Amino acid sequence: MADADRKRAEFAKWALPHMDQVYTAGLYLTRNKEEAEDLLQETMLRAYRFWHQFTPGTNCKAWLMTILHNSFKNRYRDRSREQQTVEFDESLHAPDQLASADPGQTNPEDIIASQRLDDEMERALRSLPAEFLEAIVLVDIQELTYEEAAGVLGCPIGTIRSRLSRGRQLLQSALQQYAQQRGFGRRNTYALR
């Protein structure tokens, strides 16, 4: 097999399956659908261009996340969060995604309740400061280890630990605040399921 064919096959096998995860992480980082799409393309192109730098046997998703974060920093370092739009909501409310959130759920009331929790979770996540959101996206959503997340963000593991602890506390507060606004009195609203 020629080098180009081998590279193509390896990339298709190891990197392309993570495209949705890269896109999702980009949505959280940019908070904008079009920018997330551009960021995805830039990330995958750079990954392909520098595929020879990927170490086989290591976590390809973590490697892609590193490229994503570096690309994001390069592109958006001068932009304030106020400039970013909220078209992210459109992808959040895609009907097929809502319907597939829990395939085992058939009771309409359960589905509506679940969707409401999904929306509240998204809203609470988007309210987090960037450094806490990054840690939660990498560890809780992308399921990287602390070591991998530290590698992606270029910080010590201790920073990941404290950002996650603090970020989850902030997330919980945001969820409780939102639940109270909606008239839910339970303290652990998000322990319903």
Partner 1 sequence: MHCAEYRDLVAAHVDGELTAAELPLARAHVADCVECAALLQAQQQLRHAVHTHVWTRETPADVRQRVLAAIDAEEGVTNRIARLTQWWARPWSRVALAGAMAVLAVVVAVPLLRSRPRGPLAEEFNTIAAHYHAAEADAVTIDFRTDDPYELREYYHRSGAVPFNNSVVDLEPLGYVLAGGSVVDLGKMKSTMSVYRGPHGLLLCHRIYAPDLKYPPGGEYVGGDAFYTIGGITICMHREGDVMCFMASAMPRAEFIKHMLMGMT
Q: Are 142 and 65 in contact (CB under 8 A)?
A: yes
Candidates 89, 117, 155, 184; binder of partner 1 (CB under 8 A) is 117
Q: How many CB atoms lie within 10 A of CB 177?
A: 12
If one asks whether residue 8 binds partner 1 (CB under 8 A), the answer comes out as yes
If one asks whether residue 105 binds partner 1 (CB under 8 A), the answer comes out as no
The whole-angstrom separation of Cα 27 and Cα 189 is 26
If one asks whether residue 11 binds partner 1 (CB under 8 A), the answer comes out as yes
Stretch that binds partner 1, among 19-27, 57-65, 68-76, 79-87 (CB under 8 A): 19-27
Q: Give the residue from 119, 120, 118, 148 showing the smallest Cα distance to 134.
A: 148
Candidates 10, 122, 123, 184; binder of partner 1 (CB under 8 A) is 122
**73 CA to centre of own chain:** 15
The whole-angstrom separation of Cα 42 and Cα 179 is 38
Candidates 64, 153, 164, 179; binder of partner 1 (CB under 8 A) is 164
Tokens 């064919």: give the residue: 5
DSSP 141: I
Residues that bind partner 1 (CB under 8 A): 2, 4-5, 8, 11, 19-21, 23-24, 27, 37, 40-41, 44-45, 48-49, 91, 97, 101-102, 114, 117-118, 120-122, 125, 136, 139-141, 145-146, 161-162, 164-169, 171-172, 175, 188, 190-191, 193
